[in-house]
Amino acid sequence: MASSTTTIEPEIKSSSAPIPLPALDYSKIDVILRFLLFGASVSALASIVSSDETELVLFQGVPVLQPAKFKYSPALIYFVCAFTVSGFYGLLTTIISISLIQNPPPPSLLGCAYTGDSGLSNRNSQKHCICRFEGKQPRRLDQNLQCV
């Protein structure tokens, strides 16, 4: 006897539109990372410059305590110089990023102006004369790149 088993597959319903993901604000992440760079540089500088260490040095066979400052080691001098530069870079770029967030430049206008000036070679479009307008339509350039 042959037994037949029938399985019923569940009906899968799918929506036509995917669930939108929340958008990330990369400008805030940029400012946070630049501020962390500044903070790490300042903390490294503070720990090296304010260190007050002494080391035991033999002077004519007698152990003597000698101060060990960052000024006495060329490697630590370069370390302090490098972290000073990175601290200034972090501070300057943080200020610039914050000012660009508050007053953003119009990148879409600049992109349109560049495209109108140079044309799109892959689209086989012609160049536009963006310096003069006739009504609302830009004039086209001829073979000699002169406005027609």
* pLDDT tens by residue, 76-108: 889 999 999 999 999 999 998 898 888 776 665
Evaluate if residue 28 carries a pLDDT over 60.
yes
Evaluate if residue 56 carries a pLDDT over 90.
no
H or E element, residue 41: helix 26-49
Tell me the one-letter amino acid at 147: C
Give the mean pLDDT of 31-53.
Answer: 91
More confident residue, 121 or 51: 51
Would you state the torsion angle of the CA atoms of residues 57, 60, 63, 65, taken in this order, to the nearest 10 degrees?
-50
What secondary structure letter does DSSP report for 141?
B
pTM of the model: 0.52
Percent of the chain with pLDDT over 70: 58
Give the mean pLDDT of 33-54.
Answer: 90
Q: Residue 134 to residues 14, 16, 66, 113: CA-CA distances in angstroms?
A: 51, 45, 82, 16
CA distance 9 to 37: 56
State the angle between helix axes of 26-49 and 74-102 in degrees (0 to 180), rounded to the nearest 10. 150
Q: Residue 35 contacts by C-beta under 8 Å, 6 or more apart in sequence?
A: 90, 94
